[in-house]
Amino acid sequence: MRNIFFPIRNLSLAALTFLGTSQFLNAQYTPVQLYKGKAGKTVKDTQESWPEKKKAPAGAPNVVWILLDDIGYGAISTFGGLINTPTLDSLANNGLRYTNFHTTAICAPTRAALLTGRNSHSAHMGLFPETAIGTPGYDAQIPFEKATIAEILKENGYNTFALGKWHITPLADLTPAGPFNRWPTGRGFEQFYGFPSRGSIDQWHPELWEGTHRQKDEQSGKHFNELIADRAISYVSGQKAGNPDKPFFLYLATGAGHAPHQVAKSWSDKYKGKFDGGWDEYREKVLANQIKLGVVPQNAKLPPRNPGVKEWNTLSADEQKLYARFMETYAGFLEYTDYEIGRFIRHLKNAGQLENTLVFVSVGDNGASKEGTFVGTVNNYGTGISEEVRLKKNLENIDLIGSEFSKVNYPLGWAAATNVPFRHWKQDANAEGGTHNPLIVFYPKGIKEKGGIRNQYGHVIDILPTTLELVNARIPENINGYKQDAVEGTSLAYSLNDAAAKDRHTVQYYEIHGSRAIYKDGWKAGSLHVKGQDFNEDKWELYNLKSDFNETTDLASEQPAKLKELRALFDSEATKYNVFPLKDGTQGYTLQTAYKDLDKVVLYPGQSTIVDVAGPFAIKKSFSLIADAELSGVETEGVLLSRGGFEGGLSFFVQNRKLNFVYAVGDGTRYSVTSENATLPAGKVQLRADVKYETDGTGSISLYVNGTKSGATKLEKTTGYIYLHEGVNVGFDDLTPVTDTYKVPFAFTGKIDRVTIDYSPAQEVGLK
């Protein structure tokens, strides 16, 4: 019944009886409030009655959730780190620092859990939309029975805004055709400005949507942080102008500090020389700061370096210079992010709203990233290259670090250092280094102590019920016609004004890529899964976090009974919350895009950008591009179709009276082919490029003008699914150019009727 639309006013009693009460309540319908007045034959005889609007209680606070990305416990000054974050310092010094707060160890699961108050697998987001498989824990279809905080607060009289990173819409829905019910504006947010797909964004050339519409690139040179701060201020200003008494909920999810680490040199230069002592010195300084602040126990000790991380003093001078530059850029990136958050917070203060605003800041959706390799990366150099080659290329490109033409991620030594005092890092759901993040809570009306420390155990699913309790909001039994499942988080409101309160969140499971853990009453068992290994062979460890908060002493051999108890509890929780079947990526999967089963796709000029990871080239198949166009004359030029940008992709274009095709692998390698005929004919033409993939990873490109072959080249290497920040466009290239032979947008000056993507039958090669 859920796909049938029944306006309530058109349903007879017989129809209601036929549907059944429970089925009717769960159908999608537009509720119409009963008219409570009296309609006479004339206005004089009529008693008016207006529908009641949802209204929050008088004086209800505004709510702001801020979620940062890929940040370890020991990065920012608010929790003892060496990166200055004065805005976050101020919020914490006038609010609370929660020192025992946890995320899921990776981004999309944390976001789904945060927004719904349910465990990530329970919300069907056990990993990413990109790796979805057809089981409840991993299909990336967040159920409508698990409403988001925006859906709930909207039902309680709030305006709702989302800005920045989303990354929890199923791939097949990320097309100009939708469906849009799992985009932000389909899950309770009245306004959205940011990027709905991917885990990262180019900070200098962001591909942005407002609502469900792609925003035209203005080549403004503004950083993504500035853009979302501007829009946050605009949303709130407009809302308060329109209805000053109505509270708002604003969710601000930055791209920082996820790679690429990009920021103006003026910010990274503030840290020049400050990390020359290296990551070993950093860890020692930060632990001392953390002890002084009281965000770690007084007897805390540093764990050993993570496996593979070298002692700083053993590195060459060139390595030390390079690695220090990486960290200077990351630090500048985070301080600048704090500055832009500060602009928004200052706006609330100047508008007289801050004192009546509840602010949560989760400093990271997981621990520091382990994706930067041991030598870091300035740009994508491809897979399969040695660390020696990567290091050499990094040194050659050191001056690009942080710039608009870099895709920077710092080396693992800094990831480990900024995770101090914990072991391991992002993706490691078994370890505190993957899941233990700082939480800041600011609420002048509700928190008596300024600058307090709270050590109660908490998890990202706790923020939703905490918010609802503090603002006195309730979850309706039905939202949008869907009967609501229970929230799985535990409100932390009990601890706001009671530092000694006993923990109420006492059991929590974790799982990412087969690495898993279970927490109960201060005890924790976990296993770091080795990719490809039988899950039954994984080694489990056991820790008493009450006496060993950063997991330095494994008690598995000493207390086998406790380990057995906890492993059984994990299996029970995993069964309850859809964690099974475990998967680590070796099982294979097919991207669930809208294009995966099509033989042909027809694109038209003027249509919206197609998100790359969900687009027609994401699955590797041989294809033909066929452009039916009209050349107005010999001077006609421009892009017929483009995918991606400087980081990789393809461009099919006319330039210098020739047909051209550029294929950029993504590691800096570009293959170009130009038509051999003297000049393209004027008038209506059919221009074609055939891209053929071979099973050995090579391929070829052939060009045709009106059916006549006009050029060809061999591809020594090819690419399929690469995580591009720029999508597919017809009639222009977007954001950054695929090739340096033109500047964006290089719009086509003739007329394009259509561009057809015709796939070779049964030619899927796989992910390479």
Q: Could you report the per-residue pLDDT of 653-709, keeping only the tens digit for each? A: 999 999 999 999 988 899 999 999 778 999 999 999 999 999 999 999 999 999 999
Residues 78, 194: one domain?
yes
In a domain, 585, yes or no: no
In a domain, 537, yes or no: yes
In a domain, 591, yes or no: no
Residues 410, 558: one domain?
no
As beta bridge partners, residue 638 has 654
Residues 385, 318: one domain?
yes
In a domain, 215, yes or no: yes
Q: List the beta strands (DSSP E) in 143-255.
A: 159-165, 191-195, 209-210, 213-214, 248-253
Residues 511, 370: one domain?
no
* Domain count of the fold of the chain: 4
pLDDT of residue 219: 87
pLDDT of residue 764: 44
Residues 72, 41: one domain?
no
pLDDT of residue 720: 65
Give the whole-angstrom CA distance, residue 341 versus residue 348. Answer: 11
The torsion angles phi and psi of 13, rounded to 5 degrees, stand at: -60, -40
pLDDT of residue 722: 60
Question: The domain that contains 87 carries what CATH number?
Answer: 3.40.720.10
Give the whole-angstrom CA distance, residue 649 versus residue 665. Answer: 7
pLDDT of residue 16: 32
In a domain, 244, yes or no: yes
In a domain, 2, yes or no: no
pLDDT of residue 31: 55
Residues 247, 311: one domain?
yes
Residues 185, 137: one domain?
yes
Residues 411, 559: one domain?
no
Q: List the beta strands (DSSP E) in 90-227.
A: 96-102, 159-165, 191-195, 209-210, 213-214
pLDDT of residue 721: 58
For residue 538, the enclosing domain spans 507-576
Question: The domain that contains 721 carries what CATH number?
Answer: 2.60.120.200
Residues of the chain with pLDDT under 70: 1-32, 720-723, 761-768
**Domain end point (choices 475, 495, 515):** 495
Q: What is the DSSP string of 381-416?
A: --SS--HHHHHHHHHHTGGGTTSTT---B--HHHHH
Residues 16, 152: one domain?
no
In a domain, 56, yes or no: no
CA atoms within 13 A on the CB side of 637: 11
Q: For the purposes of burial, counting CB atoms within 10 Å of the CB of 9, is it exposed (0-12), middle (13-18) or buried (19 or more)? A: exposed
Residues 339, 238: one domain?
yes
**Domain end point (choices 542, 576, 610):** 576
**Domain end point (choices 449, 472, 495):** 495
In a domain, 50, yes or no: no
Residues 572, 609: one domain?
no
Residues 491, 511: one domain?
no
The torsion angles phi and psi of 454, rounded to 5 degrees, stand at: -125, 130
Q: List the beta strands (DSSP E) in 275-403.
A: 357-362
